[in-house]
């Protein structure tokens, strides 16, 4: 039985009451460190990784505000302020490709986000394990193909004498030269994205599905829920954290429309809908080696991405309760 | 106690961070001083280590002591890099120089080159550089203005003089009057691409090979009549380029006196008006478009030519869905003829000299210069600098050096008699001897594109196949279109120009296709030109003309 | 056993149709590519090869297998992938675990440190200068370290750790386990599914990567197989290949791409079935409740 030892003033003295010791801010940290030092230690190497290999090179982005000459200092020669930012803000072509990027990013999000979920749910319903594994493994094969191959396959499919036009021929339709029509580009791009990523995207959801408690299904069945109801009330809520995480991440990656794929599928005829920020910057770079311009645009995209993901995160926290942070 | 533990965990990494910060600090310090490495560039007295006191044309270069130089090596998958190549050993034996290659796969050569130069890590010698890619590195001073040191290179200078290449060399000078690339030099223009036809089909229809573009049109029409369900002509070389069917547009444009297709450049020189104009708005360019539009409209040319892959186009040829296609001598023999012979009985295919158009029998200007060598500014700081320049001169520009790079060692890899080079038995070059066990390129390292290009006509033609010989003989008789005078922009102007160039180029590429495919009627040509004006076409042209006038005044 | 209702059977039927379609659409190009890798060039160029090899021909495979550079670069790829995945898994798992502790002071800052890097990156040249000055050029570390943490994977793992019931960890804490012990002995065994998934994700991405190698390797003998094959494809189809009109080289040009795909995808495809084993249902969770 210990008694707290306080320096109580001897009874009877007329000392003014000492003010209560204000907790120094540093002691809150000290407390945290003492309690969780092991956790912090686990974070040391990763944070170092970020600092050295991610934040240090970021200093290079300073060339967005300096004049950079390839071969000279990697940090540019002299300050030019917002010159490059102004350049692209007033460039009408930039706004057109910006619009295209928004369109394609949006379409990709709307279609490529839900499809792996649906596919995972369907796969989950397959009774026989071997069949389920077979379909699973096959569905993610396209992910392994390099973008060059996928683009080649896409072009072959859409050729005038290719399979798609053959099918059109059965319905008496004249062959369409899809690759030359700007109106078809978005469909083609999103279609090939779905084909390449749907199967791979199910992996995470399938892993998440394994963590759902079997008892919950039992309980639902006892309550009289049919299979579809069970999915709605048990499965979906069970994978909700994964869904939210992926949704927020995908919103953040909104602007990162696949550069290589667009580059391989587009041509001057489809520039009006196909040209995105990354391909435009690429052409500018190849022609003029204007790294500063590219860096300025890169920063612009980065800011947008960051704003998007923070907004999505806040929204998600307020409405659904789960969020990335 | 706990804090110490944290510190220990991070200690090693902290050392690395300090190293990185230190380096970057150093880099920015040196960066502040860069761009002016030419302060004492003229004084070469301390850089004579290993150099020959007197190095003349016709002399074998031999360094007075063994030296080594780093070089960027473009690794061609057709003959992957081998350290054991006879080429490397023989170079050291003859010149005393050891080349230290930094190997880069061909497919990513340009990107890696710009990273290496941009980060200050480039080797001394950077070959396989196509003009104008060296221009980007000029303003930072990362590469040497080699024109200042051409006096160290007797073979180079002799060839420029003998083959009258001064106008071409002038066209690659920058705004300071110097040039920064040592280009490959050709005695005579070597053409690359033209049309090829199924000669057996032509013979069947009683047609002779066309020599003008009008005749080409007639031949196509006749073929179409015979095979109304097929396109006589389905073309290729439309991938990876904004100006699709790049080869076709290039040699078709040649016949009209304009740079189109692969060779398209926004700015070209109008020799009659003696000033620079915008290519995409010229009457000649319009004529090229009109010609192709006619072909497509009358179903003589497959509209898919403009977007299909090379494989798709070749497949159509082999499946007899088309009867003509663009070619170069290599593709003609190795792809078309070889495969046709296996798939279609009695099929014969030949490449014709580029058909003649309104500009008469001409070839494009500037094709006597080829890819070349850039020299890193770091090389100037070395004591071995003069020896290096002499070495470059011997290997790339002397007759002896060029012969060596191409054919190898006489008596070991080839024999020379009566004006013909013959490979030794057991050695094959590009499939010349299928039964041979060794290959000149793969096993010996000769005929390597990094070292072998340009030269006298005698050397260049020494390996022509009969088809190529016929083609090149006919083409080399033609006149060259006038070469554009120098009009180099200063770096601030360049930045401005670069912002206008791409949108203009895109607009031209887009409308070229739309006009040809009939998506936009040619009657709207005026509207198209107005759209170009709205994209700063006139400002770009004025910029270049101003640069031209300025250069004329400053450098005569 | 409850007899499956009619609506359930219809559902299964529709499901079956959809999944069959998925299999056909995703499997066909692969089967076609495999067929082409074993076919004769004539049939390939005539467009006759669809599902089965026509004119069965092993020439291209033989040529590739005989090339010692191929085997060396294959070995390089395996080595790089294993090392890089190991490094990545250690760093990612540790950090994800830390980030999953909502009570940790400064946690949001640590998350921000990671998320910010998803959008802002340095350029090619600063990265090259950094890696070179640290002396990592021409070594496996140039490939493993700069890409050690994928923020995407990190956040997914974090979400998983957060969804684990806290009672388990609290119980272990009471039992006297340190944080390290809890992570190793309690959390990780429960997270087999997500760990397996991340191993798969990382190893596939390292396996397929060529950019790092092209940037930081100067010597051909250090190149991974992706760079090697990428260069061959560019040579064979770009017309820069000084290939001859001999049977062999023309055959190679016709199906080198197909052979490439088969050879590089096959091993990594085999990883998945092993990983699938860990996608077991959360039996442990039931044990906790009970």
Of C215, C232, C249, the CB nearest to B115: C215
Whether the CB of B49 is below 8 Å from some CB of chain C: the reply is no
Whether the CB of C146 is below 8 Å from some CB of chain A: the reply is yes
Task: Band the pLDDT of B25: cuts 50, 70, 90.
Answer: very low
Q: Quote the pLDDT of residue C235.
A: 61
- Determine the Cα–Cα distance for residues A302 and A296; give it in Å rounded to an integer: 10
Whether the CB of B489 is below 8 Å from some CB of chain A: the reply is no
- Residue-wise pLDDT for C88-135, tens only, equals 999 999 999 999 988 888 898 999 999 999 888 877 788 899 999 999
Whether the CB of C44 is below 8 Å from some CB of chain B: the reply is no
Structure tokens at B337: 């003829």
CATH class of the domain whose range is B46-189+369-404: alpha beta
Q: Is the pLDDT of residue B386 over 80?
A: yes
| Closest to B254 in 3D by CA, of B356, B132, B400, B129 | B356
Section B447-462 average pLDDT:
91
Asked if A276 and A257 count as a contact pair (C-beta separation under 8 A), the reply is: yes
* Pairing status of strand B362-363 against strand B349-351: unpaired
| Closest chain B CA to residue A281 | B502
Chain A residues touching B303 at Cβ < 8 A: 177, 180
Q: For domain C59-282, give the CATH number.
A: 1.10.3720.10
- Determine the Cα–Cα distance for residues C144 and C172; give it in Å rounded to an integer: 34
Chain A residues touching B120 at Cβ < 8 A: 71, 74
Q: Quote the pLDDT of residue A21.
A: 58
- Determine the Cα–Cα distance for residues A77 and B397; give it in Å rounded to an integer: 37
- Determine the Cα–Cα distance for residues A164 and B311; give it in Å rounded to an integer: 18
Domain span(s) for CATH 1.10.3720.10 in chain A: 93-319
Q: B423: which strand partners?
A: B414
Other Cβ atoms less than 10 A from the Cβ of C263: the count is 17
Section B97-123 average pLDDT:
88
Q: Find the distance separating the first CA and the last CA of chain A, reported in whole Å.
A: 44
One CATH from 3.40.190.10, 1.25.40.10, 3.90.79.10, 3.30.1330.10 for B191-366+477-556: 3.40.190.10
Chain C residues touching A215 at Cβ < 8 A: 286, 289
Chains in contact with C via at least 3 Cβ–Cβ pairs below 8 Å:
A, B
Residues of chain B with pLDDT > 70, as a percent, come to 92
C-alpha to C-alpha distances, A8 to A1, A19, A22, A47, B463, nearest whole angstrom: 19, 13, 17, 46, 106
What is the full DSSP assignment across A59-114?
Answer: GGGGGGGEE--TTS-TT-SEE-TTHHHHHHHT-HHHHHHHHHHHHHHHHHHHHHTH
- Determine the Cα–Cα distance for residues C143 and C132; give it in Å rounded to an integer: 12
Higher pLDDT, A72 or A118: A118
- Determine the Cα–Cα distance for residues B441 and B81; give it in Å rounded to an integer: 10
Whether the CB of B107 is below 8 Å from some CB of chain C: the reply is yes
- Residue-wise pLDDT for C49-65, tens only, equals 778 888 888 888 888 88
Would you call B136 and A40 a contact, using CB atoms and an 8 Å cutoff?
no
Q: Identify each DSSP E strand in B91-212 by its residue range.
A: 97-105, 125-129, 182-185, 194-198
Section B301-322 average pLDDT:
91
Whether the CB of A45 is below 8 Å from some CB of chain B: the reply is yes
Q: Is the pLDDT of residue C244 over 80?
A: no
Q: Quote the pLDDT of residue B156.
A: 95
The answer to whether the B46-189+369-404 and B191-366+477-556 domains have the same CATH topology is: yes
Q: Is the pLDDT of residue B230 over 80?
A: yes
Task: Band the pLDDT of A225: cuts 50, 70, 90.
Answer: confident
- Determine the Cα–Cα distance for residues B392 and B387; give it in Å rounded to an integer: 9
Q: Is the pLDDT of residue B521 over 60?
A: yes
- Residue-wise pLDDT for A173-207, tens only, equals 888 899 999 999 999 999 999 998 888 888 888 88
Section C21-46 average pLDDT:
84
| Closest to A138 in 3D by CA, of C139, C201, C27 | C27
Structure tokens at B75: 């690794």
**A93-319 adopts what CATH topology?**
MetI-like fold (1.10.3720)
- Determine the Cα–Cα distance for residues C140 and A26; give it in Å rounded to an integer: 42
- Determine the Cα–Cα distance for residues B147 and B389; give it in Å rounded to an integer: 12
- Determine the Cα–Cα distance for residues B499 and B501; give it in Å rounded to an integer: 6
What are the backbone dihedrals phi and psi of residue A302, each rounded to the nearest 5 degrees, phi first? -65, -45
C-alpha to C-alpha distances, A145 to B504, C51, C78, nearest whole angstrom: 35, 18, 18
Q: Is the pLDDT of residue B29 over 60?
A: no
Instruction: Supply the pTM of this predicted model.
Output: 0.82
| Closest to B336 in 3D by CA, of B235, B246, B192 | B235
DSSP state of B240: T
Domain span(s) for CATH 1.10.3720.10 in chain C: 59-282
Would you call B106 and C244 a contact, using CB atoms and an 8 Å cutoff?
no
Q: Is the pLDDT of residue A293 over 50?
A: yes
C-alpha to C-alpha distances, A38 to A34, A46, A131, B406, C167, nearest whole angstrom: 9, 14, 45, 66, 20
Residues of chain C with pLDDT > 90, as a percent, come to 20
- Residue-wise pLDDT for B175-221, tens only, equals 888 999 999 999 998 888 999 999 999 999 999 999 999 999 999 99
- Residue-wise pLDDT for A2-46, tens only, equals 343 444 444 544 555 555 555 566 788 888 888 888 888 999 999
DSSP state of A53: I
Chains in contact with A via at least 3 Cβ–Cβ pairs below 8 Å:
B, C
Structure tokens at C230: 């990428």
* Interface probe, candidates C50, C96, C120, chain A, greatest A C-beta count within 10 A: C120
Cβ under 8 Å to C: B residues 297-336: 310-311, 314-315, 318-319, 328, 330-331, 333-334
Tokens 């091993």 belong to residue: C267
Q: B349: which strand partners?
A: B198
Q: B185: which strand partners?
A: B369
- Residue-wise pLDDT for B487-499, tens only, equals 998 878 888 888 8
* Pairing status of strand B97-105 against strand B125-129: unpaired
| Closest to C69 in 3D by CA, of A172, B148, A267, B442 | B442
Chain C residues touching A143 at Cβ < 8 A: 204
Averaged confidence pLDDT in chain C: 81
Q: Determine if the peptide bond prior to C213 is cis (ω within 30°).
A: no
Whether the CB of B521 is below 8 Å from some CB of chain C: the reply is no
Cβ under 8 Å to B: A residues 74-93: 74-75, 77, 87, 91-93
- Residue-wise pLDDT for C179-203, tens only, equals 888 888 888 888 888 888 888 889 8
Whether the CB of C197 is below 8 Å from some CB of chain A: the reply is yes
Angle between helices C107-119 and C151-163 (to 10 degrees): 150
Q: Is the pLDDT of residue B34 over 50?
A: no
Would you call C245 and B112 a contact, using CB atoms and an 8 Å cutoff?
no
Section B291-302 average pLDDT:
96
| Closest chain C CA to residue B120 | C129
Task: Band the pLDDT of B335: cuts 50, 70, 90.
Answer: confident
Secondary element (H or E) of residue C77: helix C68-99
| Closest to A65 in 3D by CA, of A44, A50, A49, A80 | A80
Q: Is A151 left (phi over 0), alpha (psi -120 to 50) or beta?
A: alpha
Handedness of CA B119, B125, B129, B131 (dihedral sign): positive
| Burial of B228 from C-beta contacts in 10 A (0-12 / 13-18 / 19+) | exposed
Structure tokens at C197: 């998934």
Length of chain A (residues): 325
- Residue-wise pLDDT for B349-366, tens only, equals 999 999 999 999 999 888
Q: Is the pLDDT of residue C237 over 70?
A: no
Domain residue extents for chain B: 46-189+369-404, 191-366+477-556, 405-476
Q: Quote the pLDDT of residue A15.
A: 54
Cβ under 8 Å to C: B residues 267-296: none
Structure tokens at A304: 């947008």
Task: Band the pLDDT of B390: cuts 50, 70, 90.
Answer: very high
Section B440-459 average pLDDT:
91
* Interface probe, candidates C229, C242, C248, chain B, greatest B C-beta count within 10 A: C242
Task: Band the pLDDT of A220: cuts 50, 70, 90.
Answer: confident
- Determine the Cα–Cα distance for residues B309 and B300; give it in Å rounded to an integer: 19
- Determine the Cα–Cα distance for residues B136 and B551; give it in Å rounded to an integer: 19
Averaged confidence pLDDT in chain B: 87
Would you call C242 and B434 a contact, using CB atoms and an 8 Å cutoff?
no
Structure tokens at A196: 């390449």
Whether the CB of A61 is below 8 Å from some CB of chain B: the reply is no
- Nearby residues of B244 by Cβ (< 8 Å), 6 or more positions away: A267, A268, B237, B238, B305, B306, B307, B509, B513
């Amino acid at each position: 039985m210990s008694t707290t030892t306080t320096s109580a003033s001897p009874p009877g003295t007329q000392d003014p009451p000492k003010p209560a010791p204000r907790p120094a801010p540093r002691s809150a940290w000290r407390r945290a460190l003492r309690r969780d030092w092991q956790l912090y230690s686990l974070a040391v190497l990763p944070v170092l990784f970020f600092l050295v290999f991610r934040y240090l090179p970021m200093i290079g982005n300073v060339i967005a505000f300096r004049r950079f000459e390839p071969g000279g200092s990697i940090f540019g020669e002299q300050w030019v302020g917002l010159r490059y930012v102004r350049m692209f803000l007033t460039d009408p072509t930039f706004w057109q490709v910006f619009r295209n990027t928004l369109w394609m990013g949006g379409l990709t999000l709307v279609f490529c986000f839900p499809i792996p979920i649906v596919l995972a749910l369907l796969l989950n319903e397959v009774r026989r394990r071997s069949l389920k594994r077979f379909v699973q493994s096959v569905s993610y094969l396209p992910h392994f193909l390099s973008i060059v191959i996928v683009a080649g396959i896409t072009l072959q499919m859409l050729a005038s004498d290719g399979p798609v036009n053959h099918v059109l021929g059965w319905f008496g339709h004249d062959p369409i030269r899809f690759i030359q029509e700007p109106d078809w580009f978005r469909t083609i791009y999103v279609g090939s994205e779905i084909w390449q990523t749907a199967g791979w995207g199910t992996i995470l959801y399938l892993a998440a599905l394994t963590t759902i408690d079997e008892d919950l299904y039992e309980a639902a069945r006892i309550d009289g829920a049919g299979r579809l109801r069970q999915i709605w009330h048990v499965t979906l809520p069970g994978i909700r954290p994964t869904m939210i995480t992926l949704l927020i991440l995908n919103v953040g990656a909104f602007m990162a429309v696949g550069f290589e794929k667009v580059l391989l599928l587009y041509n001057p005829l489809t520039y009006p809908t196909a040209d995105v920020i990354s391909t435009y910057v690429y052409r500018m770079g190849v022609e003029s080696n204007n790294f500063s311009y590219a860096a300025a645009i890169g920063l612009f995209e980065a800011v947008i991405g960051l704003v998007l993901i923070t907004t999505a995160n806040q929204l998600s926290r307020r409405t659904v309760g789960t969020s990335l942070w | 106690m706990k804090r110490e533990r944290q510190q220990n965990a991070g200690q090693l990494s902290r050392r690395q961070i300090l190293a990185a910060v230190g380096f970057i600090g150093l880099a920015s310090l040196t960066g502040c001083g860069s761009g002016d490495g030419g302060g004492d560039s003229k004084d070469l007295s301390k850089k004579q280590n290993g150099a020959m006191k007197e190095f003349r044309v016709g002399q074998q270069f031999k360094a007075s002591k063994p030296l080594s130089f780093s070089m960027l090596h473009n690794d061609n998958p057709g003959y992957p890099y081998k350290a054991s190549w006879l080429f490397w050993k023989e170079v050291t034996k003859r010149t005393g120089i050891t080349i230290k290659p930094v190997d880069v796969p061909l497919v990513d050569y340009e990107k890696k080159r710009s990273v290496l130069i941009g980060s200050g890590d480039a080797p001394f010698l950077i070959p396989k550089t196509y003009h104008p890619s060296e221009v980007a590195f000029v303003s930072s001073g990362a590469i040497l203005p080699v024109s200042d040191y051409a006096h160290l290179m007797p073979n180079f200078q002799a060839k420029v003089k003998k083959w009258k290449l001064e106008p071409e060399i002038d066209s690659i000078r920058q705004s300071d009057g110097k040039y920064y690339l040592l280009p490959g030099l050709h005695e005579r223009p070597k053409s690359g691409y033209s049309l090829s036809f199924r000669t057996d089909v032509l013979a069947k229809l009683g047609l002779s090979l066309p020599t003008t573009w009008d005749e080409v049109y007639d031949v196509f029409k006749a073929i179409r009549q015979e095979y109304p369900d097929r396109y006589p002509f389905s073309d290729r070389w439309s991938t990876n380029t904004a100006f699709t069917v790049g080869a076709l547009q290039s040699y078709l444009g040649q016949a009209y006196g304009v740079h189109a297709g692969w060779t398209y450049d926004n700015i070209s020189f109008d020799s009659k008006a003696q000033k620079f104009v915008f290519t995409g708005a010229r009457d000649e360019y319009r004529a090229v478009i009109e010609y192709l539009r006619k072909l497509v409209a009358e179903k003589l040319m497959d509209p898919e030519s403009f977007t299909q892959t090379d494989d798709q186009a070749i497949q159509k040829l082999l499946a007899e869905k088309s009867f003509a296609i663009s070619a170069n001598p290599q593709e003609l023999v190795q792809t078309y003829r070889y495969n046709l012979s296996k798939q279609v009985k009695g099929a014969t295919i030949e490449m014709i000299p580029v058909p003649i158009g309104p500009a008469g029998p001409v070839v494009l200007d500037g094709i006597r210069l080829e890819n070349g060598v850039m020299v890193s500014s770091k090389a100037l700081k070395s004591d071995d600098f003069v020896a290096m320049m002499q070495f470059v001169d011997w290997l790339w520009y002397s007759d002896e050096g060029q012969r060596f790079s191409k054919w190898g060692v006489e008596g070991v890899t080839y024999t020379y008699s009566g004006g013909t080079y013959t490979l030794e038995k057991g050695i094959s070059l590009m499939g010349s001897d299928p039964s041979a066990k060794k290959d000149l390129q793969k096993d010996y390292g000769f005929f390597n594109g990094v070292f072998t290009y340009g030269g006298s006509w005698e050397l260049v033609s020494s390996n022509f196949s009969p088809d190529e010989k016929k083609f090149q003989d006919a083409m080399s008789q033609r006149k060259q279109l006038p070469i554009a005078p120098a009009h180099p922009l200063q770096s601030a102007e360049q930045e401005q120009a670069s912002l206008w160039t791409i949108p203009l180029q895109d607009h031209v590429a887009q409308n070229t296709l739309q006009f040809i495919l009939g998506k936009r009627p040619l009657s709207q040509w005026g509207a198209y030109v107005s759209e170009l004006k709205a994209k700063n076409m006139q400002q770009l042209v004025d910029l270049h003309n101003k640069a031209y006038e300025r250069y004329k005044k400053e450098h005569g | 056993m409850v007899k499956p209702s009619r609506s359930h059977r219809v559902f299964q039927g529709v499901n079956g149709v959809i999944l069959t379609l998925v299999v056909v659409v995703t499997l066909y190009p692969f089967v076609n590519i495999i067929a082409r890798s074993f076919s004769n060039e004539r049939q390939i160029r005539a467009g006759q090869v669809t599902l089965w090899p026509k004119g069965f021909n092993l020439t291209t495979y033989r040529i590739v297998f005989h090339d010692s550079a191929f085997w060396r670069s294959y070995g390089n790829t395996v080595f790089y992938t294993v090392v890089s995945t190991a490094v990545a898994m250690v760093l990612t798992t540790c950090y994800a675990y830390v980030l999953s502790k909502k009570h940790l002071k400064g946690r949001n800052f640590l998350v921000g440190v990671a998320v910010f890097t998803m959008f802002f990156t340095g350029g090619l040249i600063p990265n090259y200068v950094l890696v070179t000055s640290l002396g990592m050029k021409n070594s496996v570390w140039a490939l493993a370290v700069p890409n050690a943490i994928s923020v995407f994977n990190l956040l997914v793992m974090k979400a998983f750790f957060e969804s684990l019931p806290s009672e388990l960890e609290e119980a272990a804490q009471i039992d006297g386990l340190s944080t390290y012990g809890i992570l190793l002995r309690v959390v990780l065994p429960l997270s087999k599914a997500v760990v397996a998934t991340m191993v798969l994700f990382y190893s596939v991405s390292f396996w397929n990567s060529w950019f790092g190698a092209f940037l930081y390797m100067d010597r051909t003998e250090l190149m991974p197989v992706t760079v090697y094959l990428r260069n061959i494809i560019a040579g064979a189809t770009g017309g820069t290949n000084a290939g001859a009109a001999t049977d062999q080289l023309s055959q190679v040009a016709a199906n080198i791409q197909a052979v490439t795909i088969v050879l590089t995808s096959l091993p990594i495809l085999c990883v998945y079935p092993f990983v699938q084993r860990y996608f077991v249902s959360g039996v442990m969770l039931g044990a906790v409740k009970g």
